[in-house]
Copies of this chain bind each other. A is one copy, B any other.
């Protein structure tokens, strides 16, 4: 356990384990290429609730309950619950999990929140301040559109650079020692702001943050892109992911063929391009969580990925900041995973 370089926490190879992870996916996510990677796929994104917000809270609660079940951890033995969502004042996390009656920490880095939650979990677990932590995030396309842009009922037209907020929730149980997946490093992001103002251009706003954090992670750890079987960003979408690939080459982080072979984006992976209204791809606090906890963890178990770097990406705007003409600061935190033995 140590701090490496400017901003990376190294937890050691077998100190912090993901014991189990669970995912609940919305209906469109369940029709995508990763459909069979999720534990629960919903037919109805409202799951019988009277508001979209309560539906999202239900998903968070279901994912948390499932993760505890899969880990064999009764919720009452959790030392800490760390989570986030995109709703103002994190109501999906706090209201969704209010019955847990365990110590709770709300965190927020927009769609990079799952990495912040896992980083703080790793910090608490690796140092013995907690033995078992639950970490998770949720998002819902209908709560997020209302939160950041327009009520979905308006039917506002979206440009091709827009992204669809992923509907779903994911949670993981983190504990000290060895498990199916290890968390080995966390790199805490810094803000970049390249002046993008449009909430329909999140990929462009966030790509520089992903580049910055990825470069800093490699500097801090002395690793190169080649040391990872896969590097995934959180939700740059196809547009933002292309910007990132160009940036990585321009800034000399890696050669084009390495970048093309190694760097992918959860927002581009979660939907097929021909699915309705997915535009540039997925986004949202659940996007990287669903793809990582569902699809990529399974790929690691199958032996196809040994070492994975998740650089989740967050656009730090609000409806008010967008309406006030503010530029969009962005942040990216990275978590390095290894296959457990």
Contact = CB atoms under 8 A, between A and B. Distances in A.
A19 interface: no
A2 B128 contact: yes
Interface stretch (A94-102, A163-171, A265-273): A94-102
Interface string A281-324: 00000000000000000000000000000000000111111001
Contact of A98 (B89, B105, B109, B193): B193
Interface residues of A, number: 59
Nearest to A86: B89
Contacts of A95: 316, 321, 326, 329
Oligomer: number of copies = 2
Contact of A129 (B9, B53, B54): B9
A148 to B, nearest CB: 8
Contact of A7 (B2, B79, B94): B79
A1 B129 CA distance: 8
Contacts of A110: 89
Contact of A188 (B53, B104, B189, B318): B104
A108 interface: yes
Given A98-B193, A120-B105, A188-B80, A91 B127 contact: no
A236 interface: no
Interface of A: 1-3, 6-7, 9, 51, 53-54, 79-80, 84, 86-91, 94-95, 97-98, 100-110, 116, 119-120, 123-124, 127-130, 146-147, 188-191, 193, 316-321, 324, 326, 329, 331
25 contacts: A3-B128, A51-B324, A87-B318, A88-B88, A88-B89, A88-B318, A88-B319, A89-B108, A89-B317, A89-B318, A91-B316, A91-B321, A94-B331, A95-B321, A95-B329, A103-B189, A105-B107, A105-B109, A105-B119, A105-B188, A123-B124, A123-B127, A123-B129, A127-B129, A146-B320
